[in-house]
Amino acid sequence: MTTDQESKDRHFKDLYASPPDFKVLGRLDPDLAAVLNGRELDFDDPASVMQLTKTLLKLDFDLSIELPDDRLCPPVANRHNYILWLKSLLDTSSYEKPGRKAVGIDIGTGASCIYPLLGCTQRPWSFVATDIDSKSLEYARENVKRNELTHRINVLARTQDDLMIPLQDAKIQSADFTMTNPPFYASKDELLESAAQKSRKPFTACTGSETEMVTAGGEVAFVGRILDESLELRERVQWYTCMVGFLSSATKLVERLKKEGIDNYAVTALVQGSKTRRWAVGWSFQAMRPEQSVARGVTSKAGAAKIDLPPATEQQVLKITLPEKIGEFADELRRHIGGLELASWEWDQERLEGIGRAEANVWNRAWRRKRKREMEVEEQESKEEVKKEPSAIAFGFQVRVRVTKNNLSVGCRWMEGHDAVIFESFQGYIKATVNSIRGTAKEKKK
Ligand SMILES: C[S@@+](CC[C@H](N)C(=O)[O-])C[C@H]1O[C@@H](n2cnc3c(N)ncnc32)[C@H](O)[C@@H]1O
């Protein structure tokens, strides 16, 4: 059964998959029609660009905003892409159903406050939205009020020297994510040069103001500060994320993550509905790992060659010809996995998939031998009733059986843990188990 959340998500997912038809939009919104020239919109005219943003926010999200002429006017499709990726990042790095409540921190929210507004429209999220620019803060607060979201979005003024992740000042213990679209440029000259290249007037709604667009060291230094803070806060935030404008910035950030020993990270290209490609990077000290399409969303050859992507988390372990009795095969697989000493194991008979968690690589022969010895000792000492403390979970996984007309495949996903070697070893165990089930079935047939 599809839930409200699922159908809402589906609607938002492909919203900008094809380019907008301005004539159609103009029919729906007379304010946009007034700035159109037939089917054309002048992207070099700040007033037209601003009207397009207002129109899309109104028609697609039922949001209304006001913006000053001298601050950045956010292109909606591009900002929406970041929110879509965040939704997938959170949904797939949790055992909860998609669409859980979450607290986010938007660092540098701008006059529009666009990310918190878009996020709250699509999900039961709440936000702390920060900025250092007093004019942007004033507009951001008004935009939150205008959309009746003051109970979910806390606009917080910061200074250049404050911590960027304001858990303490916002009076919260933890957060589910931080996000930022940092100022791009390292200097005013760089901004002017880029505006000249695009033949645009600088310091308008199209290009943004100096405070918005320029930061010492550029976007890598800005996100670098967030990374420094994350090394202190660690698990208190599940996902630290950023959007960057240059592939080289994403590459540098990933290099830094690896240098800091952060193994759980995600990189993606944000492309839908936007001519300008952007990149998103996220990292986590927690153990839940996102789905592969989210963590390794760099599909272009150039991107994949330059960025050191995180390890694969999904693997089709093997594909076999369809067994005679699919139900029996799946039951056997469930029983074998269930026979391991797992911390938990739940099987969904309808979907033919199960989720398990283990304190160690409990399928491994050496582990089982060790465990047997431990149990013998425990038995001898059992008169004293020693209670075993539960250990931390080292590995969480999903096993999926997929059936097509002629084949059956078994795949697994690494959902939790920091050790890629355990995942590899688990794949070996699943392969051996499936082969052994097939062998037994053949024996029976004889
Ligand atoms: C590129 S703009 C992004 C605005 C908006 N989030 C968007 O995507 O359209 C960057 C924002 O970061 C803000 N900013 C710069 N330094 C900051 C800091 N140390 N803490 C919080 N915000 C900062 C700027 O004032 C600006 O509003």
Least confident of 10-19, 46-55, 203-212, 347-356: 203-212
In this predicted structure, the answer to whether residue 344 has a pLDDT above a threshold of 80 is: yes
Residue showing tokens 């006017």: 73
Ligand 1 atom nearest to 111, measured from its CA: 27
Q: Is 191 in the pocket of ligand 1 (CB under 6 A)?
A: no
**158 known ligand binder:** no
Residue by residue, DSSP assigns 112-140 as: TTHHHHHHHHHSSEEEEEEES-HHHHHHH
**339 known ligand binder:** no
Predicted pLDDT at 376: 76
Does residue 51 or residue 199 have the better pLDDT?
Answer: 51
Of all protein residues, the one whose alpha carbon is nearest to atom 9 of ligand 1 is: 74
According to the CATH classification, is domain 314-445 in 3.30.310.80?
yes
The C-alpha atoms of residue 360 and residue 357 are separated, in whole angstroms, by 9
| Average pLDDT score over residue span 341-367 | 93
229 phi, psi to nearest 5 deg: -65, -35
* CATH topology match: 4-306 vs 314-445: no
Domain ranges of the chain: 4-306, 314-445
Indicate the helix (H) or strand (E) that contains 412.
strand 407-416
Predicted pLDDT at 201: 65
| Average pLDDT score over residue span 79-92 | 97
Q: What percent of the chain has pLDDT over 90?
A: 67
In this predicted structure, the answer to whether residue 323 has a pLDDT above a threshold of 70 is: yes
CA of 72 to the centre of ligand 1 (A): 10
**71 known ligand binder:** no
In this predicted structure, the answer to whether residue 304 has a pLDDT above a threshold of 80 is: no
Split at pLDDT 50, 70, 90, the class of 302 is confident
Split at pLDDT 50, 70, 90, the class of 366 is confident
Nearest partner of 223 among 183, 171, 264, judged by Cα: 183
Q: Half-sphere exposure of 222 toward its Cβ, with a 13 Å CA cutoff?
A: 27
5 phi, psi to nearest 5 deg: -60, -40
In this predicted structure, the answer to whether residue 91 has a pLDDT above a threshold of 60 is: yes
The C-alpha atoms of residue 27 and residue 65 are separated, in whole angstroms, by 20
Buried b or exposed e, range 401-434, using 16+ CB within 10 angstroms? beeeeeebebbbbbbbbeeeebbeebbebbeebb
Least confident of 202-216, 270-284, 287-301, 341-355: 202-216
| Average pLDDT score over residue span 24-29 | 94
Average pLDDT, the chain: 90
Question: Which of the following CATH numbers is that of domain 4-306: 3.40.50.150, 3.40.50.720, 3.10.20.600, 2.40.37.10?
Answer: 3.40.50.150
Q: Is 131 in the pocket of ligand 1 (CB under 6 A)?
A: yes
Predicted pLDDT at 199: 63
Tens-digit pLDDT profile for residues 124-173: 999 999 999 999 999 999 999 999 999 999 999 999 999 999 999 999 99
| Average pLDDT score over residue span 206-235 | 89
How far lies 267's CA from each of 272, 312, 316, in Å? 16, 12, 22
The C-alpha atoms of residue 333 and residue 350 are separated, in whole angstroms, by 14
Of all protein residues, the one whose alpha carbon is nearest to atom 2 of ligand 1 is: 212
CA of 73 to the centre of ligand 1 (A): 12
**407 known ligand binder:** no
DSSP state of 37: B
Indicate the helix (H) or strand (E) that contains 182.
none
Nearest partner of 111 among 88, 90, 142, judged by Cα: 142
